[in-house]
Amino acid sequence: MFVERGTTLFLKVTVFLMGLPVLALCILGLPAIMKEAREAWPDSWVYPIIIAMYLSAIPFYMALYQAFKLLGYIDKNQAFSELSVKALKNIKYCAIAISILYAAAEPFVYLIADMDDAPGLIVIGLVIIFASLVIAVFAAVLQKLLKNAIDIKSENDLTI
Instruction: Name the average pLDDT for the chain.
Output: 90
Q: How many Å apart are CA 82 and CA 92, to the nearest integer?
A: 15
Percent of the chain exceeding pLDDT 70 equals 96
How confident is the model over 41-52, as a mean pLDDT? 90
Residue type at 75 in one-letter notation: D
Residue 1 banded pLDDT, cuts 50, 70, 90: very low
What does the CA dihedral 25, 21, 102, 133 come to, rounded to 10 degrees?
Answer: 180
Residues 6+ apart with CB under 8 A from 69: 83, 87
Residue 157 banded pLDDT, cuts 50, 70, 90: confident
For residue 5, what pLDDT is reported? 54
Is residue 3 predicted with pLDDT exceeding 50? Answer: no
For residue 91, what pLDDT is reported? 97
pLDDT, tens digit, 9 for 90 and up, residues 90-145: 999 999 999 999 999 999 999 999 888 888 889 999 999 999 999 999 999 999 99
How confident is the model over 17-37, as a mean pLDDT? 93
Percent of the chain exceeding pLDDT 90 equals 68
Q: Which one, of 96, 86, 94, 97, lies nearest residue 142 by Cα?
A: 86
Region of poorest pLDDT, from 13-17, 20-24, 152-156: 152-156
The crossing angle, in degrees rounded to 10, of helices 43-75 and 30-40 is: 160
Helix (H), strand (E) at residue 59? helix 43-75
For the chain, how big is the Rg over CA atoms in Å?
A: 20
pTM: 0.87
